[in-house]
Each structure stands twice: as C-alpha cells, then as structure tokens.
A and B are shown apart, each in its own frame.
Chain A
Amino acid sequence: MSEPGAPILQVEHLTMRFGGLVAVGDLSFSAKRGEITAIIGPNGAGKTTVFNCITGFYKPTEGMILLRHPAHAEPFLLERMEDHQIGVRAGVARTFQNIRLFSGMTVLENLMVAQHQILNKASFFSLAGLLGLGRYKKAEAEAIDFASYWLEKLDLIDRADDAAGDLPYGGQRRLEIARAMCTRPVLLCLDEPAAGLNPRESAELNATLRWIRDEHQIAILLIEHDMGVVMGISDHIVVLDYGRKIADGSPESIRNDPAVIAAYLGVAEDEVELVEAEVGK
C-alpha cells in the first residue's frame, strides 16, 4: 500500500476531439490518494468528457491516463483498456450526472450487481453457484455484509429491500455512491453528485465524501457546479474552460484566480486585454 498523498491518477496531455470540435485540449493533472480533486468549469467546458475518457467510455484522441493501483506494481494505462476492465482491474468507479440505477432491482440487488466480479469468481462463473456449493454461499454472505456496511454508512439500510426506483432523489444519489464504492475502487469519479440536492442533503454529502476520503484513503475526483460543495471539501481544484485547463491549485488560490473569475463571471469590455495579458493568452 502506498502512503497518502501519492498520485493515483495521472492525466497527461489528454486531448479529445469530436470531428472538428476539441472537447478537451492538452489537459494534464493528477489526483492524489486521500484527496478530493474537483474539476470545475462553465457548462460545456469538457468536464464530463474527461470523466468519460478516464472511465473508458471514450477513447481519447491523444494523451495518456496513468492509474497507479496500490495493489499492482505496474501502473495501468487506462486509455488502452476496455471500459469494464477499468472498473474491475484498475479500480475506477463512477457515478453519472443523470442517475443510472437499476431501478427495477432492489437497493441491495444494486449493490450485489456492483460486486459481480468477486461473486462471479467465487461462484466459478456460476457453476459452483448452480450446484449450490458452500463456497459461493459464503461469498454471497460476505457480499451482503459488505453491501450492508455501505447501506448503513449512507443511511439506506431501512430501504434495502425496496426498489431503487422507489427511492427519493437524494436517496438515489447516495445509492449510486454506495454502488460505486461496492466495486472497491481506488479512484471514485463523481459526476455532479450534489445536483438536485437541497442544502441539508448537500451538507450531508460533504460529510460523507470527507469520511470516505479519510476512512478509505482513496482518491475522489469530483465534477460539481455547487461551489459550496466544491470549496467546502476539495483539496485540489482543476478549472476547465473550452476544454483547456485555466487554473489548477488549492481552493484558496482558485477563488482569487483572475482567469477563473473571468471565465465564470466574464470581464468588462475594457478589461479584456488586460486580463488576457495576465492570463497569458
């Protein structure tokens, strides 16, 4: 196991083009173990595209994505892996901007699906399970225990046997995080986890994320529009605008960065040149 603070994810010169559109251009950043890294930027800045590249849904046009799994000596090159392998072998889990739960399955079943790989191996690709061997039963009991742990932590234990689609919105968001954590990741990518939450739920989410970071010592990568969440919990912020990185640093430095302010708020007509000179365009 590597010590806290070691970079888990290292993105180098990542570029993603869709035809003539450069969604992400020459982006480099890293996410460290035991830290929450936030990616922010105005709408259309390419944040979700970065996520899709990291989780293998898109194959990047250029660049390299390195993931250092503590249990493996060699780093994984995510841009060369199939999406399902990124989830299993490299230990990257994600949630989605528009919630993607298995709504017709129960809350517990959702978490069991997330542990598919472990259970599938234990059931010897279903053969042992088909014969009802004890090995699989034991693995299943362990998986249920693990799921219950996360259900308790995310306050969903009372709804364990309800359909996921029956949960209120906030519950569905929490369940998505629990489901991602059940894959036992080293890097958790959250795509706007606070979207649609009320202030109280948002605050609870902050506490949960901090707890996951400290207790489980994993790297969390976060896309968020809610600045309350971002500034409150991030250890490190990367700001994107039009697919390019315009700032990278601690919340304090980002808050005062003129380029960021310009990107978010715009600048007065007569200040454009001044700001551009300062940003170095």
Chain B
Amino acid sequence: MAERLLDAAEAKTQLPDVAEAIKEAGIAAFIALILFIAIVGIKTENAQGGLELIYRLGAAFALAASIGVVRLLFDLFVWRGFGRETLNRILPKGKRGTVVFALIIVAYLVGAIYFLIPGSRDAVAAGTSGLFADPDWQSRARIFISLSGLLFLTVFVVLSTMGIIMVVRRLLRGTASGKAATPTRTAASRPSTISEFGQQFAPALLVIAVILPVLVAGPQQRYALDTAIQILTYIMLGWGLNVVVGLAGLLDLGYVAFYAVGAYSYALIATELGWSFWVCLPLAGLFAAFWGILLGFPVLRLRGDYLAIVTLAFGEIVRVVLLNWYTLTNGPNGISRIPKLTFFGLSFERYGTENTFHGFFGLEYDAVYRIIFLYYVILVLALSVNFVSQRLRRLPIGRAWEALREDEIACRSLGINTVTTKLTAFAIGAMFGGFAGSFFAMRQGFISPESFTFQESALILAIVVLGGLGSQIGVAIAAVVLIGSSELFRDLEEFRMLIFGGAMVAIMVWKPRGLVGSRSPTVVLRERKIISGSLVKEGAG
C-alpha cells in the first residue's frame, strides 16, 4: 500500500513535468511558426514584370515542428528532473570529465580528418549529392552537408576552447598555489584568463607567425598564406581602429575611409609617378592621417550617437567621391595594374632571369615566393603598428587618450587639450589604416570603391569590439576568429553571415566587454595589477 502511494506521488511529480514540457514545446513551435512564415514561408522571386511571391508554407510548418520537437526533447531530457536523473545514472558525475576529455579527443581527430585531409569535404559532399538525381536536391544536399559540417565544427570549436580553458585554468591555479606569497586578488581586479593566456603565449604565437610559411608548406600553402595575409591586414586595421575606439573612446563607423585613402594614395602615386612602395607607404600614411584630422575637426564636439552617425557619413562620402571622381579615380572601374612589390629590386615575374627573384637565387619559378614575401611584409608592418601603438599607450599622449575615454571634463580641468588629443587619436588611427590600405592595393594590384563599403567598417569595428576595447591581443584573436572563420566557411556562401552573427551574439552574451575586457596599467609603482573591465569606461564618444 505504502509503495503504491509512493509510486503515485512519483508519478504526480513527473506527469505535470511532461504536460508542462509539451505545453512549452507547443508555445515554442507556435512562435517559431510565426517567425518562419515571415522568413521562410514567403519568398519573393524575380519574375517577368516584377516580383512574384512564392509560398512555401510546408517548409515553414516543418521547421516549426522540428523546433517544437527539439524543445520537447530538451525539456524532457536536459532541463527537467527525470531526464537529468537518467543522465546521471548513465554518466556518474566523477566520470564526466573523462567523457568530456574523450569527446574532445574524438572531436579533434574527426576535425583533423575533416579539415586537414584535402578533398575529404568534397568527397562527402559529392557522395551525398550523388544519392540524388535531381540537381535541385543535389544542391540542397550540399547545403545540408555544409550546415551539418558547420554544426559539427561549432561543437568542435566549443569543446576544444573549453578544453584549452580548462587546461590553462588548471595551469594557472597550479602556479598560483605554488607561490605562497602571491597576494589574493579582489574580485574586482581578477584578471581575465585570455589576457594572461595572451601574455604568456605571445612569444609562442609570434614564433608560430614567423615560421607559418614552413608550417603550412604543401599543396594548401598558397591558400593558407593568402588567408594569413588577409587576417594580418585586418589585425592591422583593428589595431589602428583600436587607437580611436579602444583608447580614446571615440566611436568611428567610417574607418574604412582611411583604408580607402591609403589604398588610392598608393595606387595613384605608383601608377602615375612610378614611385616605389616604400616611398609611397609613409606618404599614404600621411595622407590618411591628414584625412583623419579633417574628419576630426567637425566631430570634435560630438559625442555618442552623433559622432557615430557623422563618422559613418564620412566613410560613405569618401566612397561616393571615389566612385564619381572619374578623372582621378576612374570611378567604379577602379585602378588596375598597380605595381607589385619587388624584393630589393628583384621582381617575382615568371619570365626573365636577370632581375627576377627565382633567377637571381637560381630557383625554379614558383608563384608562392611572392606570397611568402608579402606575408612577411605585412607581418612586419603589423608588428610595427603594434609596437608603436603599445609605446604610444605608455606615453603622455596615450595616457591622455585613455583619460579622455574615462572622463573628458576631468581631462580639461587637468590642462589636457582635448582638441589636439582627439585629433592625434584620429590621425594616428587613420595613419595605420592608410598603411594597411596601401598594402592592400599593392597586394591586389587592382582596387575599386567596391572594396571600401560600410561592411568593411562594420567588420573592423566588430573585430575591435569582440576583441575587447583597447586590448591588442584580443583584437588579434578576434581578427583570426572572424576573418579565419569566414574563410573556413567559404562554401557556405551566404550562410557565413549566420556564423558571424552567432559568434558575435555568443561573445556579447558571455563576455560583454570582448574577449579581453581587462586593462593593463601603463605605469607601475610596485606591482602590476590587471584592472577589471567593469571599471574601465567605453567612452561617451
């Protein structure tokens, strides 16, 4: 009798759970349905004489239903009591770490096979699409495979990051407990894992960057180095914008304008006057800095949203001028045949033996030599930008930038000229952008206004914000993640933007101040303490 009562009580505690879960799943499916009808259910298509609406209600219902089912499963087995109990029974708590570790290893292995063995992705995609005769279904299958690959990759990235963080934490805890004299840190000034990680591993990362061309030697070398060059260009742009947004706290949505000024400066000077890249580079930087000051003047008194809007407009103005000033910029056709960089006078052309790189060194011609050289050029440029901005941060002007971000009125009361301080921030940031621009023009050999849209400004700003305002290592990591992932998912075409958005939302939820939110002081009396991001202001401008 007593047993029965107990059973009944148990059933009572479980049944409402199930009913609740079904109800919640229904609500979720309903909300999803409303959204999906708008997003998926109705499609506009170009037809003769205008747009035509195509209804795909079946697909919308199917998607909503799958959302409902997944929600139900989550409710029953992940979030609710008895599902979790079952999980605990299968996987006792003590063994969970081992299982996670095993999963990470498996994920690494599969990931390595999937991404490193050339052609494996194509083989999978071809195999799947071979199942279908209809080309329409073939393309669907390809996208499905890509998306499942993406899902897998996300799991892989999340798990491996968790693994790295676990290992690093354990290491840090080990070293901290090893030193008895280490003072206890208050909660407010707890350093972030990534910044310590960055500080400890920066030399290692640098070594990896230097020997990268050797690391990626093989059939993929050219592609890998091209990607690395692109990433480094964005790192450089990110570091440049970091001066304006991260240090001085001035939100600049038109940063791409300076990138464009640098690119067009090099393109025009090199094609018209035939000057060398190394002469044009500082000139392009100076031009960009000049435009930075020109932008700075009208926005000196603007703050916050107003500053953002005006800088955004400035970026567009520069692009529109480039587009319409035919006589100078050749308009939308752009400038082509921009001279390439030579290796101390030795070109990387295929023909000729006297003045070519391979001829001089007695090597077989290979297009990759030029790529490797360009890689080192941008690496050196980026590192010098990093060096200069790190130095500047420790100088009076850098401190004035940060003070301006913290409190402009206090700055004025201390005799800091906020006008020149803001203008130097704009000028220095723009100069770095100009360097990156002229490198870009030299590398591409062709530029047109299309390369300098607002999209680029937004991307660079995203790199700075995700990396953590003011943090050099954070910006570098964010550039690698954002640009690298968008390269990695190239075959997903427009779905790449999903990852982009997803990554941003995820970082903003987990680390609202970017990957490295903390700040390292510029001058130390006794002991260097990392300042928590919660105390650092973002600037009102």
Binding site for B on A (CB under 8 A): 55-57, 83-88, 93-94, 96, 100-106, 108-109, 112-114, 116-117, 119-120, 123, 125-126, 129-130, 132, 136, 140, 144, 148, 157, 160-163, 165-166, 179-180, 183
Contacts and interface: CB of A to CB of B under 8 A. Distances in A.
20 contacts: A84-B416, A93-B414, A105-B402, A108-B521, A108-B523, A109-B522, A109-B523, A113-B399, A116-B414, A117-B416, A119-B396, A126-B392, A129-B395, A129-B396, A148-B525, A160-B526, A162-B529, A163-B188, A163-B189, A166-B189
Interface in B437-489: none
Contacts of B416: 84, 87, 113, 116-117
Contacts of A144: 523, 525
B400 interface: yes
Contacts of B395: 119, 123, 126, 129-130, 136
Contacts of B394: 129
B535 A101 contact: no
A124 to B, nearest CB: 10
A129 B535 contact: no
B189 A100 contact: no
Given A84-B416, A84-B417, A113-B414, 10 more contacts: A84-B411, A84-B418, A94-B413, A114-B414, A116-B396, A117-B416, A120-B397, A123-B397, A129-B396, A130-B391
A30 to B, nearest CB: 22
A160 B529 CA distance: 10
Interface in B379-408: 388, 391-392, 394-400, 402-403, 405-407
A235 B413 CA distance: 25
A243 to B, nearest CB: 23
Nearest to B530: A163
A14 B394 CA distance: 42
B200 interface: no
B279 interface: no
B84 interface: no
A130 B388 contact: yes
A161 B527 contact: yes
B535 A166 contact: yes
A87 B412 contact: yes
Contact of A109 (B407, B409, B521): B521
Given A87-B415, A161-B524, A166-B535, A113 B186 contact: no
Contacts of A165: 188, 535
Contact of B392 (A101, A130, A183): A130
Contacts of A136: 395
A116 B404 CA distance: 12
A181 to B, nearest CB: 11
A101 B412 contact: no
A183 B415 contact: yes
B519 interface: yes
A132 B391 CA distance: 9
Residue among B392, B523, B535 with the highest chain A CB neighbour number at 10 A: B523
Contacts of A163: 188-189, 529, 531-532, 535
Interface in B496-538: 519, 521-529, 531-532, 535-537
Q: Which 6 A-B pairs have the closest CB atoms?
A: A87-B415, A104-B536, A88-B415, A102-B406, A165-B535, A100-B410
Nearest to B535: A165
A84 B392 CA distance: 22
Contacts of B537: 103-104
B521 A83 contact: no
Contacts of B410: 96, 100-102
Contact of B526 (A57, A87, A120, A161): A161
A104 to B, nearest CB: 3
Find the residue from B186, B524, B535 having the highest chain A CB count within 10 A. B535
Contacts of A120: 396-397, 400
B523 A112 contact: yes
Contact of A161 (B392, B403, B528): B528
A245 B532 CA distance: 47
Nearest to B524: A161
A102 B519 CA distance: 13
Nearest to B414: A114
Contacts of B524: 106, 108, 161
Contacts of B407: 100-102
B521 A85 contact: no
**Which of A103, A116, A119, A166 gathers the greatest number of chain B CB atoms within 10 Å?**
A116
B535 A103 contact: yes
Contacts of A96: 409-410, 413
A117 B400 CA distance: 10
A105 B531 contact: yes
A161 B525 contact: yes
A116 B400 contact: yes
A157 B525 CA distance: 9
B525 A87 contact: no
A161 B535 CA distance: 14
Contacts of A132: 391
Interface string B44-55: 000000000000
Contacts of B414: 87, 93, 113-114, 116, 179-180, 183
Nearest to A56: B412
Given A105-B531, A161-B525, A55 B413 contact: yes
B521 A105 contact: yes
B521 A106 contact: yes
B247 to A, nearest CB: 11
B456 to A, nearest CB: 29
A72 B388 CA distance: 38
Contacts of B402: 102, 104-105, 109
Contacts of A114: 414
Nearest to B397: A126
A178 B137 CA distance: 73
A189 B307 CA distance: 32
Contacts of A101: 406-407, 410
A107 to B, nearest CB: 9
